[in-house]
Amino acid sequence: MEYEKEVKNRLRRIEGQVKGVLSMMEQGKDCRDIITQLSAARSAIDRAMGVIVSKNLEQCVRENVEKGESTEHLVKEAVELLIKSR
């Protein structure tokens, strides 16, 4: 699967957040601030995973419909991926 620029940009922003957290740690910032930033990064990762799964699901469903194949297993697999990621 080819990943869109949007998804890659999301991951680059997350990378920047994590680097920011490391910088905060090196500066000895308060743990509450660090946890707040880590929580934001985790939420961003969760959203990125959701986007990746939904885009992939959309593409796979479209391909299966064109072939006249069932899509039920694709939806089930996508849900399982999201559940496993939690």
List the chain domain ranges.
Answer: 5-85
Nearest-angstrom CA–CA distance, 61 and 73: 10
Residue 9 has pLDDT above 90, yes or no: yes
12-62 pLDDT, tens digit each: 999 999 999 999 999 999 999 999 999 999 999 999 998 988 888 888 888
Task: Report the topology of domain 5-85.
Answer: Methane Monooxygenase Hydroxylase; Chain G, domain 1 (1.20.58)
> So what's the pLDDT on residue 59?
87
64-83 pLDDT, tens digit each: 899 998 888 888 888 888 88
> pTM of the prediction?
0.80
String of DSSP letters for the chain: -PPPHHHHHHHHHHHHHHHHHHHHHHTT--HHHHHHHHHHHHHHHHHHHHHHHHHHHHHHHHHHHHHT---HHHHHHHHHHHHHH-
Of the candidates 43, 45, 61, 37, the one whose C-alpha atom is nearest the C-alpha of residue 12 is 45
> So what's the pLDDT on residue 84?
83
